[in-house]
Each structure stands twice: as C-alpha cells, then as structure tokens.
Amino acid sequence: MEQSIFLIGICGGSGSGKTTFAHKVLKHSTPDGIGVLHMDSYYLPELPKSQYTSTGKPNFDHPDAFDWDLLRTHLKALKNGEMVDAPVYDFSESVRTSDTVSVGPSKIVILEGIFSLFDLEIRNLLDIKCFLHVDSDIRFTRRLHRDVKERGRSLESVIAQYYDTVRPMYQKYLDPQRQYADFVVGEETDVASKILAARINELNRGPQ
C-alpha cells in the first residue's frame, strides 16, 4: 500500500513567528519522519529589475522575488516521497549560495514562509493550511531585532525597508492569504502548536 505524504503550510507576515511556531510544532510532534522547508530559501538568485523600488532597493516582499518553479518542483517531489536539495540563502549578502540542504524523504513536510498560501498550485498540494495573524507592531519589533542581530542590518535600513516594501506588500499580498487558511493562529501559539502537533502525530501513525 502506497504511503501518503502530508504537506502542511504555515503562512504569515515577516516577524509573525512562523519559524518559531514550526519549531514548537516539531517539539510536540513525533520526531521521526518530519521535514521542514523554509520558503526564505527560495528567493531568486537575482531579483528582476521590476522588483526594485524607486530608491533602487530590492523588494523582497513581493511574490515575484521567489523562485516559484523550483519551489513547486521540490514540493511535488516531496509529495511523491522523494528527497530534494533545498537552496541556502545568505541574508547578510542577499544572495543564494552554492550550498544546499537535503530535505526528505519525509511522511510529513512543513512549508513555512510569507507566501506559502499564495500560489494556487501549491495550495492544492497542502493538506493543512495555517495562517499566523499577529499585530503589526509586534511583527515590526520582531523583524527589527532579527534583522539587526542575525542578518547584520542597520537599524535605519530595517525601518526604511519596512515602510518602503514590507508594510505595503503585507497589506496587498500577504494578509489576503488568510482566506485560504484552514485555521488562523494569534499571538499565543503554544496551544495551537500542540493541537497541530497532535494532528501531525495522528497522520504520522497512520490508520489504527
């Protein structure tokens, strides 16, 4: 009997806590057979010139900033029980490196990213769709701390980027993805992560 592969999408704006939420889910899940795919890894090696702002800065918060063909190909392969070599993106230099990270084969695969529910073809591959809805002030503060501490950004550049692209792109493209979610999670993610993990454990065990 062919084993079913389950794909789970975790979506939300930058700073909404997608990666943290995914880690909480993994913490409460059966450890074997779960892979995680980070959509941030699928930024295009070079953004099209149409996705640069009037000040000459790349717009990383637009759907066209991502390598959709590669992401779809990898998700389909994972859905078929295969392994993929996910790209590695260097945020300090804003470039895709030559390194890759192996993901799968896994019975459960979590896709987390700002546009994980954006594409119809990808939505149709997902078995569970989750959206993290977090207040904009909290998202901005989290992004500020992360980009300065982990990605070597200056305070001024993070603030400028937020008002230039992050905020308007969230309103135009990210927030509307809520309508596609099976459930929406607020700022308190502990209970929600345990519930999702319990469902994952059921899927992992298979029919009793």
Cα Rg of the chain (Å, integer) = 17
132-113-124-188 Cα dihedral, nearest 10 degrees: -20
Task: Quote the pTM value.
Answer: 0.91
Q: What is the pLDDT of residue 199?
A: 93
The pLDDT-based confidence of 1 (bands split at 50, 70, 90) is: very low
d(Cα 176, Cα 117) in Å, to the nearest integer? Answer: 10
Q: What is the pLDDT of residue 2?
A: 52
19-29-183-128 Cα dihedral, nearest 10 degrees: 90
* CB contact at 8 A, 185 and 130: yes
**179 CB-side CA count, 13 A:** 6
Question: Average model confidence (pLDDT) for the chain?
Answer: 92
Domain boundaries, the chain: 6-202
Q: What's the CATH code, domain 6-202?
A: 3.40.50.300
d(Cα 109, Cα 193) in Å, to the nearest integer? Answer: 15
Q: How far apart are the first and last CA of the chain?
A: 15
Phi, psi of 179 (to 5 degrees): -65, -20
d(Cα 44, Cα 26) in Å, to the nearest integer? Answer: 28
> Which is higher by pLDDT, 33 or 158?
158
